Amino acid sequence: MDSILVKGGKALNGQIAIAGAKNAALTLMPATLLSEEPLTLTNMPRLSDIRTMTLLLQSLGAEVSSLADNKVVAMSCHGLSSTHADYDIVRKMRASNLVLGPLLAREGHATVSLPGGCAIGARPMDIHITALEAMGAQIELKDGYLHATTQGGLKGGLVKLRFASVGATENVLMAATLAKGTTVIENAAREPEIVDLADCLRAMGAQIEGDGTSRIEIQGVDRLHGATHPVVTDRIELGTYMLAPVIAGGEVECLGGKLSLVESFVEKLHEAGVTVEETDKGLKVRCDGGRPNAVDVTTEPFPGFPTDLQAQMMAMLCFANGTSVLEEKIFENRFMHAPELTRMGANIEVHGGHATVHGVEKMKGAQVMATDLRASVSLILAGLAAEGETQVNRVYHLDRGYEHVEDKLGAVGATIERIKE
């Protein structure tokens, strides 16, 4: 199993190109199931999760081809050979459940395994089930599979989400495009990935209003046509690499970055004494005062501070002046990186959904274990400033969400390599 070896102590200077958003791409790919005509996605990230979604769509009968060094994915689903999403594929990735809405909308029935993914806490499917039932679906859980059917197809309705679930909003949004009548989603997720999906669906002929707000209205249409759509910039990869020069020192310009994608995150960086400048090409980041200042962080649904940047932020705060408190309000089991950071000399206390981080002057490299996707990159970030060598093991998590980390950080001055095993 591969690992990443980092030698700390090198300041970072240069540019890092930010990829298309993993969470957007994995949502956009199932949209091909809604039309018999081709859907082409550009600015695609090159990740193992994209390969997993490709396998899932192909198992359903879609044709999927990767072009231009895998940065373009061309799909066509003129005929479905199956509406059964098998456990062996779905278990690898949470986003696999996003085929449920499109299959129901197009075929009126689907059998989808309960999904897998990182073990960071409960992400219940009951929100998806209740939402689709409000549109006339009948869904039964049996032997680890969701067996979903409709009588005469999905029908528009009022969908009230008890939580602003991104996945449930995406599933309903896709399903509603082909439903009969008007569907209204209340307490909808507002993430940029939702807006990106709506933009793609509109390019395919869908009638959608209100995306980016808590109330989305979809007027169902008889059919959707083909389209070409660019994937939005990955705000989580953007935030991750913005933290790298803060931790290691130096100045890095993140190409393709936009303040609108990371406003709440940038507010915390400013509070910590970090300089973020918008340029013609992206966002430039540096920490003029040496060590950043301690700040308190609470994760919230967009536009609040992203839970997917909490682990990386903790890595930065390990080196900050003062004491910080992080409150995790999205997932109940998302501080598994804290003990690994402690192995490197961090001073962290975890009590339930709160972590208190006392900044230290230095940390030392160590053997550490990646417990999930975002935790893995947080350990790499910490290793950039730690004395000696840090070896991050079990990085298959990392490859699900970050393309060529060692190349991107190495290009701006980090001493980092992948060890093949």
Assign residue 275 the CATH number of its domain: 3.65.10.10
- Residues 247-267: pLDDT tens digits? 999 999 999 999 999 999 999
Same domain, 279 and 414: yes
Query: Any residues with CB less than 8 A from the CB of 300 and at least 6 apart, and which?
Result: 264, 329, 330
Rounded Cα distance between 174 and 182, Å, is 13
Q: Look at strands 12-17 and 250-255 and give their pairing.
A: parallel
Number of structural domains in the chain: 2
Boundary (domain end) residue, out of 207, 230, 253: 230
Give me the mean pLDDT over the 403-420 stretch. 96
Please give the residue range of the domain that contains residue 213: 22-230
The neighbouring-strand residues paired with 84 are 111
Please tell me whether 308 is known to bind a ligand. yes
Task: Tell me the pLDDT band of 108, cut-offs 50, 70 and 90.
Answer: very high
pTM of the model as a whole: 0.92
Tell me what percent of the residues of the chain surpass a pLDDT of 90. 85
Of 164, 195, 230, which residue is a domain's last?
230
Of 230, 245, 279, which residue is a domain's last?
230
Reduced to 3 states (helix: H, G, I; strand: E, B; else coil), residue 208 is: strand
Q: Which two tokens stand for residue 68?
A: 């231009």
3-class SS at 230? strand
Annotated binding-site residue? 416: no
Does 291 share its domain with 181? no
Q: Is a pLDDT exceeding 90 seen at residue 400?
A: no
Shared domain for 15 and 142, answered yes or no, is: no
Choice among 118, 200, 254, 287 that is catalytic: 118
Does residue 118 have an active-site annotation? yes
Cα-to-chain-centroid distance, residue 369: 21
- Is 306 within 8 Å of 329 (Cβ atoms)? no
Same domain, 387 and 312: yes
Q: Is 94 annotated as a binding residue?
A: yes
Instruction: Flag whether 190 is marked binding.
Output: no
Tell whether 91 is in a known binding site. no
pLDDT tens digits, 356-399: 999 999 999 999 998 888 889 999 999 999 999 999 999 988 98
